[in-house]
Amino acid sequence: MCGHAQADLIADRDDIRAEVEALWEFHESRLKPRTPPERLLDRVAFSQHPPIAVVRCRECGLVYRNPVERSHELTEIYARTTPPADVLRSLHDTQLPAVRSQARELRRVLGRGGSGLEVGSYVGAFLAAARDEGLQVEGLDINAEINAFTRTLGFHVHDGTLSAFDDARRFDTVSIWNTFDQLADPRAAVVRAAALLTDGGVLALRVPNGEFYARARRLLSHPVAPVRHAARAVLALNNLLTFPYRAGFGVSSLSRLLRDAGLEIAHVRGDVLVPTGDEWTRPWARREERVVKRLLRVLAASPRSAPWIEVYARRA
């Protein structure tokens, strides 16, 4: 995945099975009875199934699943998962407040309004936030049914993948907020994204922090129960438990990747996952999530201690 040969085991098959059980246990007590199954999507049931094992590269620190699944399986899994329109609308509304900071940051790093392409535009929350910041961003997503929903919100959305995206235009911004961790070849994606940028254009990526996962998951077997529970909550509320990703970049592995593609890092920001609680979450659990994420936000001021990382890089 990163081109380096040596890697250490982070979690084996039994560890991952234990994480799957911990995740169900965690959400079972926090969700109201009779929660519709589709509301479990992106919370306990991810479009990506749990890995067989997770390893960490000795040279760049990249955390990735090994063995690596074939890419067409993932595309099929994602493309056939379409929740009903009311759920998509609710996801759009839930995600919108949180992605506003990403749109503001992108606008700030670019230094002006401009055009953009978002890879993995999903339900269009970022497209809406970007428009409010003076950025005209088009979407690109492989799920045609979700794209049909996003177009009903008034956005220009292309069906397909970044590697197959055939457009002679150049964009002032390219952002990959939701799907970078699911791509079969992140290196090729960064090169392709850089080629779509105007000179001085900005690429923005958001990734789960693999280094954070590797460190925090060790606390799942800590002898002190409250430490174990805190680690479980932090990982579960940031969608890191069971590692439903192909790869988890850290600051160092991501910096290498971007530099190799001729991009200059302008800004790195640590972050936490958008709120996952909704009307099916018990009120105490929603309060708990707010408290946990407020604390994590303080720690996330240092990107290395953040469950999620955003990187903004400029094409030289």
By CB under 5 A, is residue 4 in contact with Zn ion?
yes
Minimum CB distance to Zn ion, residue 60 (Å): 3
Tokens 């936030």 belong to residue: 129
DSSP 8-class letter at 80: T
By CB under 5 A, is residue 2 in contact with Zn ion?
yes
Indicate the residue among 10 and 57 with the shorter CB distance to Zn ion: 57
Binds Zn ion (CB under 5 A): choice among 60, 258, 261, 263: 60
- Distance, first Cα to last Cα, the chain: 25
Which of 129, 180, 177 shows the shortest CA–CA distance to 155?
129
Binds Zn ion (CB under 5 A): choice among 11, 57, 103, 235: 57
Binds Zn ion (CB under 5 A): choice among 42, 59, 145, 185: 59
By CB under 5 A, is residue 254 in contact with Zn ion?
no
How crowded is residue 222: how many other Cβ atoms within 10 Å of its Cβ?
Answer: 13
Burial of 291 (0-12, 13-18, 19+ CB in 10 A): exposed
By CB under 5 A, is residue 88 in contact with Zn ion?
no
Indicate the residue among 8 and 86 with the shorter CB distance to Zn ion: 8
Minimum CB distance to Zn ion, residue 175 (Å): 24
C-alpha count within 13 angstroms, C-beta hemisphere, residue 149? 20
Total binding residues for Zn ion by CB under 5 A? Answer: 6
Minimum CB distance to Zn ion, residue 210 (Å): 11
Indicate the residue among 39 and 256 with the shorter CB distance to Zn ion: 256
Indicate the residue among 11 and 62 with the shorter CB distance to Zn ion: 62
Which of 270, 124, 288 shows the shortest CA–CA distance to 208?
270
Task: Tell me phi and psi for residue 119, to 5 degrees.
Answer: -90, 125
Minimum CB distance to Zn ion, residue 243 (Å): 17
By CB under 5 A, is residue 190 in contact with Zn ion?
no
Q: Which residues contact 281 (CB under 8 A, 6 or more apart)?
A: 30, 31, 32, 289
Indicate the residue among 6 and 72 with the shorter CB distance to Zn ion: 6
**Cβ–Cβ < 8 Å for 174, 119:** yes
Interface stretch with Zn ion, choices 60-68, 210-218, 283-291, 304-312 (CB under 5 A): 60-68
Token code pair at residue 261 = 């593609």
Interface residues with Zn ion (CB under 5 A) are 2, 4, 57, 59-60, 62
